[in-house]
Amino acid sequence: MRYLVLADIHANIEALDACLADARARKYDRTIVLGDLVGYGADPDAVINRVCALDPFAMVRGNHDKVACGIEPAEEFNSIARNAALWTRDVLTQEHRDWLAGLPQGPCQVDDLMEICHGSPFDEDAYIFDELDALRALKASTRPLCLFGHTHCPIAFDLRKDTLESTAPSPPLAVQFFLIGQSKYLVNPGAVGQPRDGDPRAAYAIVDVDNRRVELFRLTYPVEHAQAKVIAAGLPEVLAHRLAVGR
Ligand code: ZN
């Protein structure tokens, strides 16, 4: 069983389509979505249509999804995120707002190997940045592999006995690692639609359960098309600029 893992798509249809074309060529069986399908980008309805067509096996909601569908207020967001979230709420169809509102809160157990969350397994809105955050998350996690998003930075934490190691992969195209017996893992595949690790390429992952292998991919996509749509939509210009620098 091979799972395609998508996190933080953020209404960027160009980045999503690039990832889907690449993933199709590599073959996968099921799709998993780690939340924040919308917010920041100019194509929230198109992204939701595309994700629904994939018929995901497991999904969790992100903080932007909650605000965009109106089940949480935008007050906690900074002004740029709030502006984009409210724009998204206005343009989304009622059907898609309802669909977002029905997305489950993480963590969700996918199978015996994996669980998924948006922020962390103890709090869907918490950020996992450093090893302290990671240790707390690994303690809360109920599966050997916990997949998370929210920070938009690819990283893998690996807890073996009492030793925690982390690697922030910056692959030329792909990097892979194998899940070893007694270890617990916490992996962020990176963001499809708004990378923040200084690399503007779209990120996604494939988890091969039978071979206990995780592969992380980076792909170029037509950033300038996504940027032009952000500007044309009247969203804050900084949201277009950051796509080109991956920040
Ligand atoms: Zn996000």
pLDDT at 18: 98
pLDDT at 182: 86
pLDDT tens digits for range 86-130 = 999 999 999 999 999 999 999 999 999 999 999 999 999 999 999
pLDDT tens digits for range 155-166 = 999 999 888 988
In which band, very low, low, confident or very high, does the pLDDT at 23 lie, cut at 50, 70 and 90? very high
pLDDT at 3 over 90: yes
> Crossing angle for the helix pair 94-101 and 44-54, nearest 10 degrees?
60
pLDDT at 170 over 90: no
pLDDT at 167: 84
pLDDT at 171: 64
Average pLDDT of span 146-170: 91
Distance 193 CA to ligand 1 centre (A): 9
Ordered structural domains, the chain, with CATH: 2-245 (3.60.21.10)
In which band, very low, low, confident or very high, does the pLDDT at 54 lie, cut at 50, 70 and 90? very high
Distance 133 CA to ligand 1 centre (A): 17
pLDDT at 117: 98
Distance 97 CA to ligand 1 centre (A): 17
Distance 96 CA to ligand 1 centre (A): 18
pTM reported for the whole predicted model: 0.96
Average pLDDT of span 209-238: 97
pLDDT at 168: 80
Distance 161 CA to ligand 1 centre (A): 31
